[in-house]
Amino acid sequence: MTRQHSLFLGHGSPITMITDNPERAGLEALGRALPRPKAIVSITAHWETRGGTRLTGSPSPQTIHDFRGFPQALYDMRYAAPGDPSLAARVAEMIGNAELDDAYGFDHGVWGTLLPMFPDADIPVVAMSVDMTAPPPRHLEIGRKLGSLRDEGILIAASGNIVHNLALWRQSAGTRPDWAIDFQSRINRALIAGDDDAISGFAPDDQPAAKAINSGEHYLPLLYAAGARLAGDAVSLFNDTIDGALSMTSVGFGDPASFATLQ
């Protein structure tokens, strides 16, 4: 069976789904280039839990529109991919301190990246929450445990944003602030070097990190994707753009041929 990739996907604003833009085109191209996965485990910044991890346990998860004030076309969207309760139960056992949630579904962090990649919605998906009470090493540890699934044809697809600060975005939109460039470039270098310490620990006076990570939920999924890196993986960057206090940078761990045509 073909080894699948580990991905971190910048998902940005929901409006990305209904407009023509390079980032959406990049995800569409990636979906065409990737080997078809048997199933997908999607770690989403939009599902925050505390005291443990939760995974979607329904065989037919609902589509969640977890945003306000956008065009009706977005609320009409559905991503009707099947769930995989048996995979969810297995992952919960693998990572520990995890439970299945039959009520939760696919939020924007899930379908906002998978819809352009796999528009037929015919691949089973298990969504995973981010435990906001866990320290960075725990997120990396969960990622390492997920890595073994890749050799079973299961794609690991975490989504969020490396630079994500909505409080600063409106005043900085359309620009490329020095602090955002500094932080994004630093993380890109650390990812390529496989330096887990540099992506998971920041000094209290590290102002670029404080601004970029902000509340943390959009950054932490990166640690799952990096943790799932396997020996021999190449690191590929694409959609590496910054708009004010938001970056769309995406990262692929695995066979670089799947990312060869992406910018």
Q: What is the pLDDT along the chain (263 residues), one digit of tens a residue?
A: 789 999 999 998 888 889 999 999 999 999 999 999 999 999 999 999 999 999 999 999 999 999 889 999 999 999 999 999 999 999 999 999 999 999 999 999 999 999 999 999 999 999 999 999 999 999 999 999 999 999 999 999 999 999 999 889 888 888 999 999 999 999 999 999 999 999 999 999 999 999 999 999 999 999 999 999 999 999 999 999 999 999 999 999 999 999 998 87
Label residues 158-184 b or e (16+ Cβ within 10 Å = b): bbbbbbbbeebeeebeeeebebbebbb
Spatial contact of 112 and 18, defined as CB atoms under 8 Å apart:
no
In this structure, which topology does domain 6-259 adopt according to CATH?
Answer: Protocatechuate 4,5-dioxygenase; Chain B (3.40.830)
For the record, the structure tokens of 145 come out as: 């445990």
Identify any residues that bridge with 238 across adjacent strands, giving them in sequence order: 250
Q: Which helix (H) or strand (E) holds 43?
A: strand 39-49
The residue ranges of every structural domain in the chain are: 6-259
pTM of the model: 0.97
pLDDT at 126: 98
Q: Which tens digit of pLDDT belongs to each residue from 151-180?
A: 999 999 999 999 999 889 888 888 999 999
Give 217-238 pLDDT, tens digit per residue: 999 999 999 999 999 999 999 9
Q: Two tokens at 19?
A: 């407009």
